[in-house]
Amino acid sequence: MNPRPTPEDIAASAQRVRASGRAPTVAVVLGSGWDGIAEAVDTPLDIAYAELPAFPALGVAGHTGTLRLGRLGGAEVALLRGRQHAYESGDAAAMKGAIRTLAAIGCTTVVLTNAAGSLDPTMRPGALMLIADHLNIAQRTPLHGEPGNDRFVDLRDAYDPALRQRAKDAATTLGLALHEGTYAWVLGPQFETPAEIRMLRLLGAQAVGMSTVPETILARHAGLKVLGLSMLTNMGCGMEAETLSHAHTLQVAQGAREAAARLLRALVPALVA
């Protein structure tokens, strides 16, 4: 199936991180709008994905492809600035090597962030949502070709309830609104039709997006705890008059960037405390 990354690629990537002298225990995958936190880490040290053979080569503008190591509050963190999406190559396992490297270097928790469309009229563009559960509408898996019984990953409480509570507590302390709901993963890169949005709403999803779910599956398979956060950048297609575009997504994401950074800054150290 997907021969890459090899175990050797993962070992070499982990070795490269260890050689930096840093030992992060929590990692954050930064989606559109969430990158503001990168400026808040102390003693930042950057490693280009190009130096990490298990990490993806990136295509989408606005994603830089750098692993930033540093301190946030009392925590040693790894920030993944850039991800590869399944819609780029058709490969749902695009982040396999990156997630497995995080496990190999001793991370126990990964925070997955994204930009998403809102399916709930009360969740407006710019709002933040905690992912409580997901719908794998794409019906793809990053675990094709995996051997053994470990591949039958239990996804109950995939988005760790205790970590979700810490996220709610952090938001309350900050006076920041944080919704909670189910995230539907579609493959993309095209946006949904109005009929698809009506279907997703009927199925009980509150947000729709093109990332995160493969990473959640990989992280649970690797034994990492997962927290998922969406920034709602638009209402689902057909819910309102607006025309969707990637430029619009990035523009709204820019507006909510500060709130997202405040939340991560308070929350991430609390995840490993």
Q: How far is the CB of 248 from ligand HPA (least distance, A)?
A: 9
Q: What are phi and psi of 165, to 5 degrees?
A: -65, -40
Residue type, 184: A
What gap in Å lies between CA 81 and CA 62, rounded to an integer? 9
Q: How far is the CB of 208 from ligand HPA (least distance, A)?
A: 5
Nearer to ligand HPA, 239 or 270 (CB): 239
What gap in Å lies between CA 248 and CA 190, rounded to an integer? 14
Instruction: Find where tokens 């190999």 sit.
Output: 104
What gap in Å lies between CA 77 and CA 35, rounded to an integer? 14
Q: How far is the CB of 169 from ligand HPA (least distance, A)?
A: 27
What gap in Å lies between CA 38 and CA 41, rounded to an integer? 6
Residue 10 tokens, joined:
């993962």
Longest Cα pair distance anywhere in the chain, in angstroms? 52
Nearer to ligand HPA, 127 or 222 (CB): 127
Q: How far is the CB of 216 from ligand HPA (least distance, A)?
A: 16
Q: Is the Cβ–Cβ distance between 33 and 254 less than 8 Å?
A: yes
Nearer to ligand HPA, 9 or 192 (CB): 192
Q: How far is the CB of 247 from ligand HPA (least distance, A)?
A: 12
User: Taken in order 56, 60, 66, 69, is the CA torsion positive or negative?
Assistant: negative
**Of the candidates 40, 28, 35, the residue with the CA atom closest to the CA atom of residue 254:** 35
Q: Which residues bind ligand HPA (CB under 6 A)?
A: 115-117, 186, 191-192, 208-210, 233-234, 236, 244, 249
Nearer to ligand HPA, 55 or 87 (CB): 87
Q: Taking CB positions, which residue lies at the least distance from ligand HPA? A: 117
Nearer to ligand HPA, 104 or 232 (CB): 232
Checking phi first, is residue 112 left (phi over 0); if not, alpha (psi -120 to 50) or beta? beta
Q: How far is the CB of 239 from ligand HPA (least distance, A)?
A: 9
Nearer to ligand HPA, 109 or 234 (CB): 234
